[in-house]
Amino acid sequence: MINKNRADLIVGIQWGDEGKGKIVDSLAKDYDIVVRYQGGHNAGHTIVVDGKKYALHLIPSGVLNPKATNVIGNGVVISPEALIKEMKQFPDLNLKISDSAHMILEHHSLLDIAKEKLRGKNAIGTTGRGIGPAYSDKVARNGFRIGELEDIDSLEERLLQYLEQNSPIFKSLEIEIDKRTIREKLELYREKLLPYITNTTNYLWNEMDSGSRVLLEGAQGTLLDIDHGTYPFVTSSSTISAGASIGTGLSPKSIGNVIGIAKAYSTRVGNGPFPTEDFGDDGEKLRQQGHEFGTTTGRSRRCGWFDAVAVKHASRLNGCDSLSLMKLDVLDGFEKIKVCVAYKLDEKEISYLPTNLDEVKPVYIEFDGWEQSEGVREFDKLPENAQKYINELEKLIETPISLISTSPDREDTIQR
Ligand code: GDP
Ligand code: IMO
Ligand code: MG
């Protein structure tokens, strides 16, 4: 046995923005190390502590716990510019960055934006942060790893060669890169980031061998997974729990509890299928009450009802031991609340997630609403109809709901 302990894992169960940041932050006090394993600064995690709001994109959401070490794993794609900017908020930052994590450089974001334009009406609705192009370069074996900052001369040479080789592509997309500032930028990245860069796989193995408790933090959500999401309307990484092994170097056997994070309703940013989207007053009410505007791009999030078929599917994909149900309070004041329990596809009712999710129509059941759950911290103190809603969801998704969140604040959570 290499690992004496197991690392617990937090994973988004819908289309991202489920409230992962709040849960990682509140759990971080019980862990020594918090690790991000995929994605990049397309993620936006809002954490509220004592009324103060923090927006995180790359630094793990354990950062507000002064005792935890924060690790950016090899599976993450790092924009050095974005990371340096984010680090400034935390003067005593306890951070380790995997030397194998790939960098998002200027041309990646420019390519992301240019390619989205070319897609026209089939645009994915990416965050424009360069995520797809950076992962594409990684898989095509043309990427730039952050550990290469150690030897700037070689890195600069390789980067200039890459830019030259790809110049016809850049030209046709009207992308211009100022080669004169490259050296200066790489020197800045090196100065600011090199002290934090290390072999994080070895670090995690050693720490786990000596009994440190590790929490793995997923970004995005299951339905945005490159393989299991609503392709091509997905992000470019493995967002599901299995991605944590690849993105950290911890074997699947060393993963312990898997906690899925889901909203009490659904949202999605960007394009792609969303069977329970509500285009009427209810969708608008969810958007307003839930402040459903993106942390990263400020875009308005598409809103709709809880999709029990999709959540049950996602729970199984991730091997969830339990689920945290977030933003219950956003449903306060609704007279009726709908939940999707099956889909209609070609006039047939199905209870699984098909590949052609854009062709299904939701089949709903309806629940009576409740007045107020906001700020409630004990299950028995929730309105009876809210308790009923949670108990029924639990049966539909075949996963225990062990935590319920009733406001953005760290303390407003119910443990069951
Ligand atoms: P993440 O990307 O999964 O970390 O989620 P985001 O931070 O992008 O979006 C979740 C938003 O909901 C944030 O603004 C949180 O502060 C907020 N939030 C989290 N839990 C709750 C809750 O229980 N109730 C309400 N009203 N807001 C919440
Ligand atoms: P967190 O971690 C919600 C979405 C984008 C777009 C698609 C592809 O805050 O939950 P990308 O820029 O990754 O190539 O965009 O994925 N997306 C997210 N949606 N929350 C996120 O992260 C997201 N990260 C990417 O809107 O539809
Ligand atoms: Mg988010």
DSSP per-residue string spanning 272-312: S--TTB--SHHHHHHHHHTT-B-TTT-PBPEEE-EEHHHHH
Tell me: domain 7-79+200-415, CATH 3.40.50.150, correct? no
- Dist CA 405 CA 136 (whole Å): 37
Q: Determine if ligand 1 sits within 6 Å of the CB of residue 177.
A: no
Atom of ligand 1 nearest to the CA of 46: 7
Rounded distance between C-alpha atoms, residue 302 and residue 287, angstroms: 8
CA atoms within 13 A on the CB side of 51: 0
Is the CATH code 3.30.365.10 the one for domain 102-195? Answer: no
pLDDT in tens, 372-394: 999 999 999 999 999 999 999 99
- Entry pTM: 0.97
Q: Is 407 in the pocket of ligand 1 (CB under 6 A)?
A: yes
Q: How far is the CA of 387 from the centre of ligand 3 (A)?
A: 27
Q: Which atom of ligand 1 is nearest to the CA of 405?
A: 23
User: Which ligand is located closest to the Cα atom of residue 39?
Assistant: 2
How many CB atoms sit inside 10 A of residue 273's CB?
15
Question: How far away, in angstroms, is 400 Cα from ligand 1 center?
Answer: 21
- Ligand 1: does its nearest atom lie under 6 Å from the Cβ of 217? no
> Within 13 Å, how many C-alpha atoms sit on residue 35's CB side?
34
> Phi/psi zone of residue 25: left (φ > 0), alpha (ψ -120 to 50 degrees), beta?
alpha
Residue 361's CB is within 10 A of a number of other CB atoms, namely: 13
- Phi first, then psi: give them for residue 382, nearest 5 degrees: -70, 150
Q: Which atom of ligand 1 is nearest to the CA of 22?
A: 19
Ligand 1 pocket, residue 8 CB under 6 Å? no
How would you write the pLDDT of the chain (416 residues) with one tens digit per residue? 444 589 999 999 999 999 999 999 999 999 999 999 999 999 999 998 888 899 999 999 999 998 999 999 999 999 999 999 999 999 899 999 999 999 999 999 999 999 999 999 999 999 999 999 999 999 999 999 999 999 999 999 999 999 999 999 999 999 999 999 999 999 999 999 999 999 999 999 999 999 999 999 999 999 999 999 999 999 999 999 999 999 999 999 999 999 999 999 999 999 999 999 999 999 999 999 999 998 777 889 999 999 999 999 999 999 999 999 999 999 999 999 999 999 999 999 999 999 999 999 999 999 999 999 999 999 999 999 999 999 999 999 999 999 999 999 999 999 99
Q: Hey, which of 42, 72, 77, 216 would you mutate to test ligand 2's pocket, going by the most ligand atoms within 8 Å of its Cβ? A: 42
Q: Which atom of ligand 2 is nearest to the CA of 42?
A: 24
Task: Extract the tokens encoding 201.
Answer: 């796989």
Break the chain into its structural domains and give their ranges. 7-79+200-415, 102-195
Q: Whose CA is nearest to atom 11 of ligand 1?
A: 19
Say which residue the tokens 């009427």 belong to: 280
Same fold, 7-79+200-415 and 102-195: no
Q: In DSSP terms, which residues pair with 70 in a beta bridge?
A: 34, 95
Mutational test site, ligand 1, from 327, 404, 409, max ligand atoms within 8 Å of CB: 327
Query: Residue with the nearest Cα to atom 23 of ligand 1?
Result: 327
Which of the ligands is closest to the CA of residue 23?
1
* Residue 278 backbone class (left: φ over 0; alpha: ψ -120 to 50; beta: rest): beta
Show which residues are catalytic: 17, 45
Is the distance from the beta carbon of residue 43 to the nearest atom of ligand 2 less than 6 Å?
Answer: yes
Torsion sign across C-alpha atoms 188, 72, 402, 228 = positive
